[in-house]
Amino acid sequence: MKALLKRKFSLTDSGVEAVRRAAFASFLVNVGYMALMLIAMHYGDNVLQGVMKPAWYYLGIIAVTLVVLYVIIDREYVLTFNATYEEATALRLEIAERLRELPLAYFSRHDLSDLAQTIMQDVTDIEHAMSHSIPRCIAYVFFLIVMAILLLVSNPVLGLAALIPLSVGLVLMFLSQKAQKRWTEKYFWKTRETTEAFQEAIELQREIKSCGFEEENYKAVAASLDNAERLRLRAELTQAMPILLSTAIMKLSIGVIAVVSAALLRASAVQLIYVIGFLLASMRLVDAVGAMEDYFAEFFYLDARVKRINELRNTPTQTGMEIDLKHFDVELRDVHFAYNEETNVVNGASFVAKQNQVTAIVGPSGCGKSTILRLISRLYDYDSGSIIIDGRDIRKVSTDALFDKVSFVFQDVILFNASVLDNIRMGRPDATDEEVRRAARQANCEEFVLKLPEGYDTLIGENGSKLSGGERQRISIARALLKNAPILLLDEISASLDVENERKIQEALNRLITGKTVIIVSHRLKSIEKADQIVVMDSGRVDAAGTHEELLEKSALYRRLIEKSRMTESFTY
Amino acid sequence: MIYKKLKTYVPERAAFAGIGVLLALAAAALSIASYYCLYGFLRKVIVEADVAGAVPVAARVVVFLIANTVVYFLALWTTHMLAFRLETNLKKQGIRHLMGASFSFYDRNESGRIRKIIDDNTAMTHSSVAHLIPDLTTAVFAPLLGIPLAFHVDWRMGVLFTVSFLSGMLFIRKMMGDQNFMKQYMAASDKMNSGAVEYVRGIHVLKIFKTSVQSLKEFYRSVTEYADLALQYSMSCRSWYVLFQIFFNAVFLVTLFFGYGGGTEPRVHLAKFLYYALFNGVLYLALNKVMYVGMYTYQATACIEKIETLFSEMEEKKLSSGQCETMEDTSIEFRDVTFGYEEQKIVEHLFLKLEKGKTYALVGASGSGKSTLAKLISGFYQLDGGQILIGGQDIGAYSEKALARNIANVFQDAKLFKKSIYENVRLGRPGASRGEVMEALRLAQCDEILDKLERREHTVIGSKGVHLSGGEVQRIAIARAILKDAKIIILDEASAAADPENEHELQLAFANLMKGKTVIMIAHRLSSITGVNEILVIDEGKVIERGSHKQLMAYDSAYKKLQEEYAQANEWRVRV
C-alpha cells in the first residue's frame, strides 16, 4: 500500500505517512456522516414499532455525535493541509536539486522554460490533490467497501440494487480517464501545428509585416484554429460523456432501490425498516460522490504529472569517485560524442592541454569546438574514448570533485535575480565580502557596480537585465576569478561588440588565465595567435595542432581561416 | 459582469449561453421532480401501506433521474460549444492584434511570453465558461425549486430549507477567507515560477559552480513563502469549513423534532422526516458547486483581464497610416524628434538630415541610441514628439504597405518561414520570376548554401536534417531583401558576427543589397566603414559628429578615439 502510494503519487515517505493519516481521518468523517443517517434510521425504527422516545433522548444522541464529528473533521482538515504544504515545499526543493544533478543531455531533450513551469505546476497540482482528492478518494473507496459488505450481509438483493449502479458509475469514471488520456495524446499531436502556427506568427511578425503578408497569414492561422476547435470538441465529447454519465448512474441507485424494494415489500420479502436504511445509506454514498465529483476527476488526472516527476527521478545521474585531483593536464584520447543519434559532433578528437599553458581551439562553426569544453567539464558525457585528468578518466570522477577544479565562462552569460555580491559569490559560496569585492575589482566590475543604486547589494533583475552586455560578462568573469579553479574553460567570450567594454573584458581575462590550464574556444584568430598551442578542428576531428607559426606551415584549414578573417577585416563597404 | 464581457467575444454563439441556462434549469427541475416522486414513494410505503401503488411511483423516480442526466448533458454540451468558440475567437483576436501591434510592443515583450499569456489565459477562460454557466444555474435553481417542494411537504421544512440555503451563502463567503488573498497567492506563485525558469535556464552554471537551491536566496524564499501563504490561507478557513460540513450534513435532524409538536401522526411525520433526510443533500451539493463557481468566476475575470491588458498594450503607440502609396524621394529628415520606449527618453529634440542614395554609418557605444535612431526610420514607432519626413512628407502620410515596400530592415536576428528557401525569398516580391529569385540568392552569396543542400532552393526550412547557421539564415533573409528592392535599407552589421568564418560572405551580401540605395547602417566593425559617404557618431541620442572618415580622422574627434580603441582591442592577444 505504502509503496503503491509512493509510486502512484510520487510522494516522499513522510508524505505517504501524512496521506495515510489524512485518509484515516477522512474515513472516520465518512463514518460520522453515516452515523447521522443511523440516528435517522433509529428514529424510524422506533416509530414503526410504535415506541415514542422523549425528545431529549434524540437530542442527547445528536449532541454527542456532533461533538465527536466536529473533532474528527477538524483533525482531518489540519492533518491534510499541514502535511500538504510541507510535502510540496520538500518536493519542489528536491526537484530543483535533482535537476542540478542531471546531465545536460536531459535538458537538451526538453524545452527549458516549459520544463521549469511544468514542474512547478505539477507540484502545485499534486499539492492540491494531496490536500483534497487523494486522502478523500482513498477513504471513500475503503468506506464504500465496508458499507458494501454491511449492505450485502443485511440484505443481498437490496444490497445489489444499491451497489450495482454505484460501482458501475465508479468503473465508468475510471475507464473514462483512460479514454481521455488516449484522446489527449492524440489530440496533442494534432493541435501541435496550431500552437506552432501561432508561435510562428508572433515570432515572425516583423517579417510578415515587411512582406505585406498579414492577411494571408491570419487566414492560415485562423483556419488552423478552427480545425483544432473541431478536434477538441470531439475529444471533449468522448471524455465528458462517461464522467457525466458515471455520477448520474450512481444516482440511479436511489431509484433502483425504490423499485426493487417496492417489489420485495409486495412479496413481503423485506421489512420496511430495511428499505429505509438502504435508502438513507445509499443516498449518503451518492451524495458523497456528488460532492467529490471534481476530486475524483483530479485523482485520476494526476497520472501525467506524477509520470513527469518520476521520469525526472529515474533519469540516471552521473556517478564517479570523490577524488581530490592534483595535476591538471587535460588529455583527450579519441573522444567521440553525439547529442543525438543522427550525427557525431565530436568524432575522434585527441590532444593534450598542459597545465600553465593556454590551449586555443579554433575551427569553422559546427566543428565541435564548444562541445569539447562541455565534455571536459562533464556537462555532457562522451560516448567513447577518454578524457584524462591526473591519470584518471573523468567519467570515473564524480562531478562534485571535478567541478571543484573546473571553472567555465560561458559565451551566454547567466546571471540570477540576486544582488551583485551574491551573483559573484556563486563562484565560492564561503568567500568573504572582501574577497568578493577583490574579484570584482580584478574583473573591472567595481566602477560600474559603485554607480548602481545600492552598489554591491543592488538586485540586478532577471538574468541581470539591468546591466549591459559587457557588464554582465565582467560579472561572470569575476565569478570565475573568485572560484580560482585550476582548469579554466572559456567559450567565445570576447565576442562583445562594444569597443570600450571589450578592452575592459580583455584586461580582466588576462588576469583570470594566469597560472592555469586554460582552454579557450575562439573565433577571433588574431587574439589567440600567441597561445602555447592552437588546436584546429574540423568536423569533430583534430585537423592539426601546434603554435601559430607551425600551423601556418602544416594546416591548410588554418591558413584558410586566417585568410578569411583577413578578408573580413580589410573589407570596406 | 464578466459573463457579458465574454459574450461580446462570441457574438455568433451568444444564444448558446441562454440555451445552456434553460437546459440546466430544466435539468434542475427534473432532479427536484425525482425527489417529489421519492416523497410519494415514502408516503405509499410508510403511511398508506399501499405497496402495489408504490411500484409505478418508484419507476417514475428512475425516469426523472434519467431525464435529468440527459438534459444536463445537453446543457453542458451547449456551453462547451460556446466555450470552445470563445477560446478560438480570443486567439484569433490575439493574432489580429499581434499583426497590428507596434514594433515597440515587440521590443518590450519576448515572443514566448506573449504566446504563453494568450495560450494559458484563453484556455483558462474556456474551462471557466464551459462549467460556469451550467454549474451556476444548477447551484442557484436546484435549491430555489426545492423551496416550494419543501413547503408543500411541511411549511416548517420549507422555512428550515430556506434558512439553511441563505445561511449557506453566508458560510461560503466566510469560507472563502480573505478576498485579497487570491491576489497575493497569484503573485507568490508567479514569483516562484519565474524563479524556476531562471533556475532551469542557468542550470549549467549552477552545476559548474555547485550552487545549491538554498543559496539562491530569492528563489528559495519564493518557494517557502508560497507554501506558507497557502497554509495560512487554509488555516484561516478552517473553523468555517468544519462548521459548514457539520451544519449541512446534520441540519436535517432538526426536522426530527417537528414530530413532537403534537397533532401529527408519527408515521406521517416519519415519511416527511425521511424525505427531508434524503433531500438535504441537494442543498449540500448546490453549495459545493457555488464554491467552484466562485473560483471559476475569479479565474475567468483574471484571465480576460490579462488578455485585454495585453491587447491594449499592443494598441498602445500604434500608428495611424496614411494614403500615400508611392515613395519617390528617399531623403530622410528628423525634425525635433523625441522618443523613448518607456518614460526615459532615448532621443530628445533631434534634428537630422540624410540625403537620398547615400550610405550612412551610425557608430557609438552600446546604449548610445544608434539602434533606436535606425529603427525610427522604419516608421513602425510612434514618436513622442516631432516628426520624421521621407521625401519631404511626414512618415505617417505613407500607407503601411508603402512603408513596408520601400524600407527594408535587416534585423540582427533574421527569421525564416517554414517554407522552402525559394518561397522564403519570393515573399520579398511575390510577382518575381524564377530568374529574379535565383539572382537575388546569388547576390546574397547563397549559392554555396544551396550547394550543400540536396533539394537546393526547394529545401524546406525547419524540416528534418536541415541545419543552417545564423549567418546562413541571415544571407537568405538578405536575398529576400534584395528581391524586394526597397529604396531605403536599414541594417545592423552586428548580424555579421553570428557566423565568423562566413562573415566575409555576409559583408559581400550586404554590399550587394546596399547598391544604389539610401542606407543607414549600424556599424560595429569600424574598419569596414572607412569608405561610406558619411559617418554619424551617436552619443546619448545625439549626433555629436558627422563627416567622412577622412574628415573625422583629421582632428581629435570622438570618432578617432573610437577607431583607435577598436584597433587596440583588435590587436589584443591572450597573454601567455
For residue B179, the distance in angstroms to the closest alpha carbon of chain A comes to 19
Same domain, residue pair A306 and A442 = no
Distance between CA atoms of B153 and B479, rounded to whole angstroms?
Answer: 84
What is the side-by-side strand order in the sheet with A346-353? A346-353, A330-337, A384-389, A392-393
Among residues B12, B116, B338, which one has the least CA distance to residue A118? Answer: B116
Q: What is the DSSP letter of A394?
A: G
Hey, is the C-beta of B431 within 8 angstroms of any chain A C-beta? Answer: no
By the 8 A CB rule, do A538 and A347 touch? no
Query: Could you say which of B76, B95, B484 has the minimum Cβ distance to residue A240?
Result: B76
Orientation angle between helical segments B181-201 and A112-131, nearest 10 degrees: 140
Q: How much is the average pLDDT of B482-495?
A: 82
By the 8 A CB rule, do B300 and B131 touch? no
Same domain, residue pair A516 and A562 = yes
Query: Could you say which of B227, B366, B575 has the minimum Cβ distance to residue A89?
Result: B227
Q: What is the DSSP letter of B87?
A: H
Residue A209 phi/psi, 5-degree rounding, is: -65, -45
Task: Give me B246's grid cell.
Answer: 457539520
Dihedral of the alpha carbons of B339, B340, B344, B345, in degrees to the nearest 10:
-30
Q: How many CA atoms lie within 13 A of B483 on its CB side?
A: 29
Same domain, residue pair A394 and A428 = no
Residue B409 phi/psi, 5-degree rounding, is: -100, 130
H or E stretch including A10? none
The answer to whether the Cβ–Cβ distance between B61 and A120 falls below 8 Å is: no
DSSP assignment string, A265-304: HHTT-S-HHHHHHHHHHHHHHHHHHHHHHHHHHHHHHTHH
CB count, 10 Å around CB of A250? 25
Going by their DSSP bridges, the two strands B534-539 and B518-522 should be labelled as unpaired
Q: Count of domains in chain A?
A: 3
pLDDT digits (tens, 9 = 90+) for A334-382: 999 988 776 788 888 999 999 888 899 998 877 888 899 999 999 888 8
Task: Give me B30's grid cell.
Answer: 427534473
Residue type, A181: K
β-strand partners of A407 = A488
Task: Give me A299's grid cell.
Answer: 485523482
Q: What is the DSSP letter of B420?
A: B
Same domain, residue pair A125 and A12 = yes
Among residues B146, B229, B141, which one has the least CA distance to residue B190? Answer: B229
Residue type, B419: K
Distance between CA atoms of B329 and B312, rounded to whole angstroms?
Answer: 35
pLDDT at residue A387 in the model: 93
pLDDT grade, residue A223 (50/70/90)?
A: confident
pLDDT grade, residue B2 (50/70/90)?
A: low
The answer to whether the Cβ–Cβ distance between B238 and A199 falls below 8 Å is: no
Query: Could you say which of B196, B257, B284 has the minimum Cβ distance to residue A116?
Result: B196
Q: How much is the average pLDDT of B170-191?
A: 77
A63 three-state secondary structure: helix
CATH architecture of the region B2-177+250-315: Up-down Bundle (1.20)
Query: Could you say which of B95, B480, B576 has the minimum Cβ distance to residue A531?
Result: B576
For residue B238, the distance in angstroms to the closest alpha carbon of chain A comes to 7
Same domain, residue pair A429 and A450 = yes
pLDDT at residue B36 in the model: 92
Same domain, residue pair A358 and A460 = no
Residues 6 or more apart whose CB falls under 8 angstroms from that of B181 comprise B229, B233, B236
For residue A362, the distance in angstroms to the closest alpha carbon of chain B comes to 11
ipTM metric? 0.81
Judge whether A111 lies within some domain: yes
Distance between CA atoms of A472 and A409, rounded to whole angstroms?
Answer: 12
Judge whether A233 lies within some domain: no
CA angle A25, A134, A240 (to 5 degrees): 135
Hey, is the C-beta of B191 within 8 angstroms of any chain A C-beta? Answer: no
Q: How much is the average pLDDT of B372-388?
A: 82
pLDDT digits (tens, 9 = 90+) for B396-423: 888 877 888 888 888 767 788 888 888 8
pLDDT digits (tens, 9 = 90+) for B210-261: 888 888 888 888 889 888 888 888 888 888 889 988 998 899 999 999 888 7
Query: Could you say which of B51, B91, B366 has the minimum Cβ distance to residue A262?
Result: B51
Q: What is the DSSP letter of A473?
A: H
The gap from C-alpha A166 to its chain's centroid, in whole angstroms, comes to 37
Judge whether A199 lies within some domain: no
Same domain, residue pair A445 and A566 = no
For residue B62, the distance in angstroms to the closest alpha carbon of chain A comes to 5
pLDDT digits (tens, 9 = 90+) for A335-347: 999 887 767 888 8
Same domain, residue pair A133 and A6 = yes
Distance between CA atoms of A569 and A486, rounded to whole angstroms?
Answer: 35
| Per-position b or e across A118-129, b if 16+ CB within 10 A of its CB | bbbebbbbbbbb
Q: Which residue of B has its CA nearest to A82?
A: B231
Q: Which of A433-442, B312-321, B383-392, B526-535 has the lowest mean pLDDT?
A: B312-321
Task: Give me B200's grid cell.
Answer: 532551469
pLDDT digits (tens, 9 = 90+) for B515-569: 888 899 888 888 888 888 899 998 888 888 888 888 888 888 888 888 888 887 7
Among residues B556, B548, B543, B424, which one has the least CA distance to residue B478? Answer: B424
Q: H helices then E strands: how many in chain A?
A: 20, 10
pLDDT grade, residue A62 (50/70/90)?
A: very high
Query: Could you say which of A99, A427, A572 has the minimum Cβ distance to residue B209?
Result: A427
Q: How much is the average pLDDT of B327-355?
A: 83
pLDDT at residue B498 in the model: 60
pLDDT grade, residue A239 (50/70/90)?
A: low
H or E stretch including A343? none
Hey, is the C-beta of B169 within 8 angstroms of any chain A C-beta? Answer: no
Tell me which fold the domain B332-570 belongs to.
Answer: Rossmann fold (3.40.50)
For the whole model, what pTM was predicted? 0.76
Judge whether A8 lies within some domain: yes
By the 8 A CB rule, do B85 and B13 touch? yes
Same domain, residue pair A441 and A474 = yes
By the 8 A CB rule, do B370 and B363 touch? yes
Hey, is the C-beta of B419 within 8 angstroms of any chain A C-beta? Answer: no
pLDDT digits (tens, 9 = 90+) for A251-285: 888 889 999 998 898 888 888 999 899 999 988 88
Same domain, residue pair A67 and A144 = yes
Distance between CA atoms of A482 and B24, rounded to whole angstroms?
Answer: 68
Residues in B closer than 8 angstroms to A266, CB to CB, are 51-52, 55
Q: What is the CATH number of the domain that holds A541?
A: 3.40.50.300
DSSP assignment string, B461-512: TTSTT----HHHHHHHHHHHHHHHT-SEEEEEGGGGGGSGGGHHHHHHHHHH
What is the side-by-side strand order in the sheet with B347-354? B347-354, B332-339, B385-390, B393-394
Distance between CA atoms of A5 and A37, rounded to whole angstroms?
Answer: 32
Residue type, B96: R
State the SS3 of B247-261: HHHHHHHHHHHHHHH
Chains A, B: CB contacts within 8 A come to 442
Distance between CA atoms of A5 and A13, rounded to whole angstroms?
Answer: 10
Dihedral of the alpha carbons of B189, B192, B198, B204, in degrees to the nearest 10:
-130
Distance between CA atoms of B294 and B533, rounded to whole angstroms?
Answer: 67
The answer to whether the Cβ–Cβ distance between B469 and A365 falls below 8 Å is: yes
Domain containing residue A564? 319-405+485-498+508-573
Q: What does pLDDT average to over chain A?
A: 84
For residue B290, the distance in angstroms to the closest alpha carbon of chain A comes to 11
The answer to whether the Cβ–Cβ distance between A287 and B267 falls below 8 Å is: no
Residues in B closer than 8 angstroms to A565, CB to CB, are 500-501
Q: How much is the average pLDDT of A35-64?
A: 91
β-strand partners of B539 = B542
Hey, is the C-beta of B41 within 8 angstroms of any chain A C-beta? Answer: yes
The gap from C-alpha B349 to its chain's centroid, in whole angstroms, comes to 35
- Look at B2 and A395; give whichever has higher pLDDT: A395
Same domain, residue pair A75 and A144 = yes
pLDDT digits (tens, 9 = 90+) for B183-210: 788 788 888 888 888 888 888 888 888 8
A518 three-state secondary structure: strand
Distance between CA atoms of B562 and B45, rounded to whole angstroms?
Answer: 103
DSSP assignment string, A213-269: -HHHHHHHHHHHHHHHHHHHHHHHHHHHHHHHHHHHHHHHHHHHHHHHHHHHHHTT-
Going by their DSSP bridges, the two strands B488-492 and B518-522 should be labelled as parallel
Same domain, residue pair A438 and A563 = no
pLDDT grade, residue B162 (50/70/90)?
A: very high
In chain B, residues 237-256 whose CB comes closer than 8 Å to chain A = 238-239, 241-242, 245-246, 249-250, 252-253, 256
pLDDT at residue B273 in the model: 92
pLDDT digits (tens, 9 = 90+) for B283-299: 888 888 887 777 777 77
Residues 6 or more apart whose CB falls under 8 angstroms from that of A342 comprise B465
Query: Could you say which of A497, A518, A573 has the minimum Cβ distance to residue B532?
Result: A573
